[in-house]
Amino acid sequence: MSMSKKLAAECLGTFWLVLGGCGSAVLAAAFPDVGIGLLGVSLAFGLTVLTMAFAIGHISGCHLNPAVSFGLWSGGRFSSAELLPYIVAQVIGAVAGAAVLYVIASGQAGFDAGAGFAANGYGAHSPGGYSLVAALVTEVVMTFMFLIIILGATDQRAPQGLAPIAIGLALTLIHLISIPVTNTSVNPARSTGVALFQGDWAISQLWLFWLAPIVGAILAGVVYRWLGDSTEH
């Protein structure tokens, strides 16, 4: 598969992740009487990854996330030459998804992106008021576990064809755990897309949602390389 097609697939897939996942949070989470709530938003994020894994997994690998690309690189599954282009494509897709969401959301009278646009935050901007340390630990650990699941589910020794289901359910579970803490990132591109439209504090806190997921992902790659090594006796 050509690099241009891989990058287009990553851009499209990340666009869908942000529009579907963040869109559910912005448009549907608290909709009067029939709001989908935390459970619905968590499921929406999982479904975006599951559907795109089946749609573009055979084209680009369906990373949709700079942390995933870093984790696969750290785990020896992804080349250094493709790392930066993938990340750029993912961020472009995330920003495009957030832009479409902004256009839709701003069609409602009184909409204010600064008042809530599914951005990630800590301290006063954590949904549950959790501290910087709590947010840091949450994002590192959740991304670490996400990559362990991805690396295991896509291992050639794992049952074939079921990886998208495991990965989608993993992302759903991660959101169920961590939405109250950080609004759940585990994805620097997702965080960047909506932060650009939320502005102000979301941009000033964005560093954490790049640093923590990438650290967690790289650690997972190292650990799974050891854990999954079948050459030891």
Going from N- to C-terminal start, the domains of the chain cover 3-228
Tell me the per-residue pLDDT of 210-219, one tens digit each, with 9 for 90 and over. Answer: 999 999 999 9
Tell me what pLDDT residue 32 has.
Answer: 65
Residue type, 204: S
Q: Which two tokens stand for residue 131?
A: 């501290």
Q: 188 or 28: which carries more pLDDT confidence?
A: 188
Is the pLDDT at 99 greater than 80? The verdict is yes
pLDDT at 53 over 90: yes
158 has a pLDDT exceeding 80: yes
108 band by pLDDT with thresholds 50, 70 and 90? confident
Residue 197 has pLDDT above 70, yes or no: yes
Residue 185 has pLDDT above 90, yes or no: yes
What pLDDT was estimated at residue 161?
A: 86
CB 13 within 8 A of CB 68: no
| pLDDT over 80 (residue 30) | no
Of 2, 23, 192, 164, nearest to 93 by C-alpha is 192
So what's the pLDDT on residue 159? 87
**Arithmetic mean of pLDDT, 55-66:** 96
65 pLDDT more than 90: yes
Mean pLDDT of the chain: 93
**Per-residue pLDDT for 34 more than 70?**
no
Closest CA to 75 of 14, 139, 153: 153
State the architecture of 3-228 in CATH terms. Answer: Up-down Bundle (1.20)
Confidence band, pLDDT 50/70/90 cuts, at residue 232: low
Mean predicted confidence (pLDDT) in 173-193: 97
Higher-pLDDT residue of 157 and 151 is 151
Does 125 score more than 60 pLDDT?
A: yes
pLDDT > 70 in the chain, percent:
97
CA 20, 25, 31: angle at the middle one, nearest 5?
Answer: 115
How far apart are alpha carbons 223 and 140 in whole angstroms? Answer: 14
**Which residues 6+ apart lie within 8 Å of 224 measured at CB?**
75, 147, 148, 151, 152
Q: Average pLDDT for residues 126-141, to the nearest whole number?
A: 97
